Amino acid sequence: MGKSSNVVWHETHVGREDREARRGHKGATIWFTGLSGSGKSTLANELDRRLYEQGRFSYVLDGDNVRHGLNGDLGFSPADRTENIRRIGEVAKLFVDAGALVLTAFISPYRDDRDRVRNIADRPGDFIEVFVDCPLDVCEQRDPKGLYKKARAGEIPEFTGISAPYEAPEQAEITVNTAEMSVVEAVDFILEYLRTGQYLESSSNQD
């Protein structure tokens, strides 16, 4: 075996451009923000499925896979919410660097937190903010996890929309009103944005 201790160890990096060229689509973070029950996770998972069927490389980050793992040490105070979003933004950036369309589904109520994620992006266009706009009363009527009921009963402190603020985006790239659009309509709308913005090239050069 050759001694390598004196060999110059060249570093060869596979770059983001290489991965994107191979995959036939750009990497980007598609950041869903909105109230609990607005449909963020449903939209993200349906978009993920559609992209998967097209042979794209996509992945969903949501409470299910982040809150108990990476961010299991964080609570719901303003400082912890900020740190929660900071870490998610950094992880999303790693996925983007790996060439992924990464879909994040978190309430992410603070505008400054979302803007910080936008600002760490390597390229313009890497961060696509999707405002999942749905009136509070509709979200509360859906209440898929019974959280609004508990929040109204005072059992959940600092619940966004009830006892903690939600700061709606002022310049989201995409807004979908889920009280008026079906899941399929909303996902089609987002896919059209991705096509028009040339995130998705021909699907002939598949993932």
Residues catalogued as catalytic: 108
**In the complex, minimum distance from the CB of residue 196 to a second copy, in angstroms, rounded to a whole number:** 20
Residues at the site binding a second copy, with contacts judged by CB under 8 A: 1-5, 7, 9-14, 18-19, 22, 39, 41-42, 45-46, 48-49, 52, 55, 57-61, 65-66, 69-70, 87, 90-91, 93-95, 97-98, 100, 120, 134, 138, 141-142, 144, 178-183, 185, 207
> What distance in Å separates the CA atoms of residue 191 and residue 103, rounded to the nearest whole number?
12
**In the complex, minimum distance from the CB of residue 35 to a second copy, in angstroms, rounded to a whole number:** 13
Alpha helices in 74-168 (DSSP H): 78-97, 111-119, 136-142, 147-152
Q: Tell me the CA end-to-end span of the chain in Å, nearest whole number.
A: 38
Nearer to a second copy (CB atom), residue 77 or residue 163: 77
- Pairing outcome for strands 28-33 and 174-177: unpaired
Q: Report the SS3 class of residue 114.
A: helix
| Tokens 């290489």 found at | 18
Contacts of 180 (CB under 8 A, 6+ apart): none
**In the complex, minimum distance from the CB of residue 96 to a second copy, in angstroms, rounded to a whole number:** 11
**In the complex, minimum distance from the CB of residue 19 to a second copy, in angstroms, rounded to a whole number:** 8
